[in-house]
Amino acid sequence: MSDRDEFVGRFGGVFEHSPWIAERAWDHGRIATPLHSGSVHKALCAEFRAASHAERMGVLRAHPDLAGKLAIAGELTEESKSEQAGAGLDRLSAEEHARFTALNSRYMSDFGFPFIIAVKGHDKDSILSAFQSRVANDPETEFETACAQVERIAGFRIAAILPET
């Protein structure tokens, strides 16, 4: 791939609403060709990790609440909608939804960004268990945990775009 706009168009959304990561990876010459999921993931994660704390916090804040208001309103990105549906978060009972809402509120209040977990391979019960465990973390630990989860999500999204070689 030799065109920056094409690259950013293809990979600019793998970090939620943060095309600047793909732009910087391209601009810094981190993109090796031929493209494959592992090399693209490594390049994008390197840019994410090189970003300032405030920029990474912006990426975290760009993520939707799990089973939250955006999901109810149908305003999730297609990737987030598919990921949450795959984990059953679009089929919560009223009681389960109330529990997620309460945890989302507490988590956002404590950490300043929504709870983020790479939901692939999880179901609503394992997500709820992780949520309940992680809400007790200190802010620094949870920031790093959320960043690692964002990188996992990006990896899954890249793998859906590109084959592994």
| Residues noted as catalytic | 63
Q: Distance between CA atoms of 68 and 102, rounded to whole angstroms? A: 10
Q: Distance between CA atoms of 7 and 15, rounded to whole angstroms? A: 14
Q: Could you give phi then psi for residue 35, rounded to 5 degrees?
A: -70, 140
Give a three-class secondary structure readout of 81-104.
HHHHHHCCHHHCCHHHHHHHHHHH
DSSP state of 59: H
User: Both tokens of residue 17?
Assistant: 């609403």
DSSP state of 142: H
Residue with tokens 């993931």: 41
User: Both tokens of residue 66?
Assistant: 């799990």
Q: Distance between CA atoms of 147 and 49, rounded to whole angstroms? A: 9
